[in-house]
Each structure stands twice: as structure tokens, then as C-alpha cells.
Amino acid sequence: MSVSLDNIIRTIIRTGKVVLGSKRSIKLVKLGKAKAIVIASNVPSNIRSDIEYYAKLSHIPIVEYPGTNMELGAICGKPFSVAVLTVLDLGSVPIESLLMFAKR
């Protein structure tokens, strides 16, 4: 059974705990409190480089969402764009399901 990244994100939002937004996400990554980071494909390069740098230091996996920030916002059920989504609690989703999509 193949599971789509969209369905995994929806389930995490419904059953777990997430933080939306790049500024709060960078802060949580610096503190090492994130379980994973999901970034949109068109996130600005300065935000991408900050998140990748701090995530690497904290050993936090990064999942690149293949769609735009508007599409990621729609998946999150929000009427606005979401460039970065930080997962604090996976809820009912096993970490392996999300890590299938993580950058190596």
C-alpha cells in the first residue's frame, strides 16, 4: 500500500502537533525541538539555507514537499501559503512513513 505525502501531512495535522511558518520553525529547529521539517518546493533560498543548516546540526530530517507553498497551505487546510511546517508530535503516524520522503 503506497501512502502519499499529502495524506501523511493531513494525518499529522489531525492527530499530532505542528507549527506553521518559517520564523517559528527556525526557532524550534535551533532549539532541537522538532521531529521533522516539511518545506515547500518554492521556499525562499535564504529560509531554506537557514533551516537546512540548523536541521543538520540538530539531526532533524527535512522533507521537501513537491508542491508550492500555496499547495502546502491547502493540504494543511489553511487559506494562506505555508512555506515551512514543523512537526513537533507525529500523532498516529509512524516516523518511518514520513522519513520515506526525507532528503538524504
Domain count along the chain: 1
CA dist 68 → 18, 37, 83, 100 (Å): 19, 15, 8, 20
**Domain-located, residue 16:** yes
Q: In Å, how far are 37, 77, 78, 104 from 19, measured between CA atoms?
A: 10, 13, 13, 23
Residue 104 lies in a domain: no
Residue 14 counted as domain residue: yes
- Confirm whether 82 is domain-assigned: yes
Question: What CATH number does the domain containing 62 carry?
Answer: 3.30.1330.30
Residues 46-59: tens digit of each pLDDT: 999 999 999 999 99
Q: Which domain holds residue 50?
A: 5-99
CA distance 53 to 5: 23
**Distant-in-sequence, close-in-space partners of 97: CB < 8 Å, separation ≥ 6:** 3, 8
Over residues 4-49, the pLDDT tens digits come to 999 999 999 999 999 999 999 999 999 999 999 999 999 999 999 9
d(CA 61, CA 70): 22
User: Would you call 90 helix, strand, or coil by DSSP?
Assistant: coil
